[in-house]
Amino acid sequence: MPPAGPLQPVVADGFVRNAGGTILGADNKAAIAAMLEAVRRIVVERRPHAGIELLFTLQEEVSLGGARELDLDSVVATVGFVYDQTGPIGEIILGAPHQGAVDLTFHGRAAHAGIAPEEGRSAIAAAARTIAALRLGRLDDETTASVGLIAGGTARNVVPERCSVSVDVRSHDAAKLAALVQEVMDAAAFAANAAGCTLDAHVQETAPGYRFAPDIPAIRLAQSALTRAGYEPRLALTGGGADANAFNQRARQCVNLSNGMADIHSPGEHIAVADLEGMIEVTLALVDVAREGG
C-alpha cells in the first residue's frame, strides 16, 4: 500500500495508530509534537534556558532537501538534536551511512510481441537481468542495497522499449559505497548490451555519512539528558538517514536520537503515548543540561 491516503489517528491500548489504513506519519510528526510541547511548557512555566532554536525542514525523505538548503547563517546554535530514529527511547546515533541512488533507464525497441517479437529489444529483459545480477539486502555489517522502483512497458502484447530501475545503496564506508555503485553500473551495462538495449544511468548522493567519537560534548549532553529523564543511554549506528546527515556535513554538530516510533514507512506504523510524553521530558532535560553547561 502506498504511503498516502486518509489520516485518522486513534489512540487504543496506549498507542497512536492510523485507522485510515496507511502510514501514521509519526516519522516525524512525533518529534515535532514533543519539541513544540516542551517549548510550550518552557514558555508557560517561565523555565530558564540558555537559548532554544527549533528548525522544521521540508523534504527530509527526498534527499534531505530542506536541511541542505537551509540558510545556516541565521542559526546561532552549533550543536543540535533530531529525533528521527526508530526504536525505544535511549538510543544515541553515533554514525549514519553514506547513501546513494542509482537510476537506470534501459532503452530497447518496441515490436508486436506475437507477430514480430524478434524485431523487438526488451528493455524489461535488460532490467530483469540487471536485478538478477545484483547483490541485494544486507551485504555486510555496514553496507546495504535495494531495488526500490521498477517501471516499464506500454502493453502486454508489446515488446517493451523502455524500463527504469531505481537502486538504493548505502555504506558506512565511503570506499565500499563507491565500489558498490560501480558494481551496479557494470551489471546494468552488461545486461543492456546482452539485450541489445542502450542505457542511461544517473548516480546521485542522497545523504552524506558521518561518524562521531563517543566522547564529544554533544554525545555527553545527550547521555546526561537521557539519564536525567529516566532512560538508559545506548550508543548505536543506523542504516537510515536524517537531517542530521546534512547538518553534520555543513559543520553543525547534530545528533540523532530514537523517539519510540515503530514500523515506520508502513501501514502498521505506531507510537506509544508514553513515548511521546517521554520525549517531552527528554527535550526538557536537554535544555536543562545545556543551560547547566553540559
**Predicted TM-score (pTM) of this structure:** 0.86
Four-way CATH pick for 98-207: 2.60.120.560, 3.40.50.970, 3.30.70.360, 3.30.2130.10: 3.30.70.360
Contact between residue 127 and residue 61 where contact means Cβ atoms under 8 Å apart: no
Q: Spell out the per-residue pLDDT of the chain, length 294, in tens.
A: 456 678 889 999 999 999 888 888 888 899 999 999 999 999 999 999 999 999 998 888 877 888 888 888 889 998 999 999 999 999 999 999 999 999 999 999 999 999 999 999 999 999 999 999 999 999 999 999 999 999 999 999 999 999 999 999 999 999 999 999 999 999 999 999 999 999 999 999 998 999 999 999 999 999 999 999 999 999 999 999 899 999 998 888 999 999 999 999 888 999 999 999 999 999 999 999 999 986
CATH topology of domain 9-96+209-291: Aminopeptidase (3.40.630)
Spatial CB neighbours of 43, under 8 Å, sequence gap ≥ 6 = none
Give domain limits for the chain: 9-96+209-291, 98-207
